Amino acid sequence: MAGPVQAGGARTLDLLRALPRVSLANLKPNPGSRKPERRRRGQRRGRKCGRGHKGERQRGTRPRLGFEGGHSFRRQYQPLSLNRLQYLIDLGRVDPTQPIDLTQLVNGRGVTIQPLKRDYGVQLVEEGADTFKAKVNIEVQLASELAIAAIEKNGGVVTTAFYDPRSLEILCKPVPFFLHGQQAHEKMLRITCHQGNTNQNHNEIPPHTSENGKN
């Protein structure tokens, strides 16, 4: 019986020697395993063409970039009370002998500024005006009249300044910006009021303050 088995094995080996080698070049899927794709309008992205169902996204009627429903941009200013400022000075987080700006306030963990959430800086409020006794030179974005009076009573100076979101981000985190070796960003001007509108815009500094912080 060894003879027929050996003969069959020899024929199998001869058949394998005659067949081509299995490689990626001669591998094919089984017949009928792949169904032909139905071609609609738009070739590969047919039917809805990748635009979804109805609405402005499908019809291409989206508003322009920056449009927020017909109203002006909403700007948020994080409140900084005089009581909080005195607390930071007493702890040594803020140096009153140096000009105080957003960089010092953020590094001293006095305020948290998030430009991506429409924070445009700090608003100085009058809470703690009766107990505030430090002489400071501080720069903020908005300030109440009583807060300005309390600081100037001690011989201090209040300055208001506007920063666009990109400049505000650099001012809050200057070290990571300069480590990247990027070019300095040019500070943009503030939008004061709409054209043809004589009423004061809410983006402006209130009438009781000015750019140099005086009444």
Chain mean pLDDT for the chain? 80
Buried b (16+ CB within 10 A) or exposed e, 64-82: eeeeeeeeeeeeebbebbb
pLDDT tens figures, 5-56: 566 688 888 888 888 888 888 888 888 888 877 666 655 666 777 788 888 8
Residues sharing a CB contact under 8 Å with residue 199, sequence separation 6 or more, in sequence order:
193
pLDDT of residue 71: 67
Instruction: Please give the pLDDT value at position 1.
Output: 44
Question: Could you tell me if 158 and 143 are in contact, meaning their C-beta atoms sit under 8 angstroms apart?
Answer: yes
What pLDDT sits at residue 192? 59
> How confident is the model at residue 188, as a pLDDT?
76
Inform me whether the pLDDT recorded for 209 exceeds 90.
Answer: no
Instruction: Report pTM.
Output: 0.56
Could you give the dihedral angle defined by the CA atoms of residues 14, 17, 20 and 21, in that order, rounded to the nearest 10 degrees? 130
- Tell me, what's the pLDDT at 196? 45
Residue 189, pLDDT score: 76
CA distance 100 to 211: 16
Q: What is the pLDDT of residue 157?
A: 94
Cα 58 from Cα 79, distance rounded (Å)? 42
Please state the rounded mean pLDDT for residues 132-159.
Answer: 94
- The tokens describing 166, both together, are 């990109």
**What residue spans of 121-188 are helical by DSSP H?**
145-153, 165-172, 174-179
- Distance, in Å, from the CA atom of 22 to the CA atom of 18, rounded to the nearest integer, reads 12
Please give the residue that has the higher pLDDT: either 150 or 50. 150
Tokens of 171: 């001012």
pLDDT 10s digits, 64-101: 776 767 666 678 899 999 999 999 999 999 999 999 99
pLDDT reported for residue 6: 60
Rounded Cα distance between 128 and 197, Å, is 37
Report in angstroms the alpha-carbon separations of 56 from 41, 63, 136: 20, 9, 53
What pLDDT score does 50 carry? 75
- All structural domains of the chain: 76-179 (3.100.10.10)
Contacts of 211 (CB under 8 A, 6+ apart): 159, 160, 161, 205
pLDDT at 208 over 50: no
Q: Tell me if 93 sits within 8 A of 111, measured CB to CB.
A: no
What average pLDDT does the segment 195-209 reach? 42
| 195 pLDDT above the threshold of 70 | no
> Is the confidence at residue 166, as pLDDT, over 50?
yes
